[in-house]
Amino acid sequence: MPTILYRNDPDIAPQDVMKIAVYAEHVGRQCYDVFETDGSRSRSESLSRRAQDVSDSLDFGDDPYLSPETTKKVLDLRNTVWGMCFDYFGERGHLGKSTDLLRMAQDVEDVLDKLVIRYLSPEELEEAEAEADWAHESQFYPKIEGDNPNIIPRDDKGFGASA
């Protein structure tokens, strides 16, 4: 878990506060995090409370200030939404995040970059680098389409890779 330091004097504009408010409003009205086997969905009390806590703690003044407590609430809401929280529901039970929600999440992330500094421990940094290396290496393997586990990776000449 990265160490998070809160900036003492963040440069926050009223538009930044509005971005957070719009995000919290959308999450509180459009996102769901409880899904039943019959296909029904609902919003947990926890998700509703987090969205409302963020909305209630925002400063909409001309020179807004977001306290570390408010920033923690925004981070908590963001982390919850990144998990099993969805606002798009397609056919056959498909759950997703709408483009609007993803755009709002990026706006909130941009504001959080003004509010916090994140530090990774040496172990976390090593793990992140290993994941980046793996992601880089994975581009060299063909993508498997469908559910066929019998696809054999091919070499650059189109032949099956030999052991």
Q: What is the pLDDT of residues 112-156, one digit of tens each?
A: 988 887 666 778 778 777 776 655 555 555 555 555 454 455 555
Exposed / middle / buried, residue 101 (Cβ in 10 Å: 0-12, 13-18, 19+)? buried
With a cut of 70, say whether residue 102 has pLDDT above it. yes
Query: Whole-model pTM?
Result: 0.69
Burial of 115 (0-12, 13-18, 19+ CB in 10 A): buried
Q: Which residue did the predictor score with more confidence, 84 or 134?
A: 84
**Cα four-point dihedral sign 140, 146, 149, 152:** negative
> What pLDDT is stored for residue 119 in this prediction?
65
Average pLDDT of span 16-31: 95
How confident is the model at residue 99, as a pLDDT? 93
The candidate with the shortest Cα–Cα distance to 3, out of 85, 111, 120, is 120
Q: How far is CA 81 from CA 19, 59, 84, 105, 139, in A?
A: 15, 22, 7, 9, 28
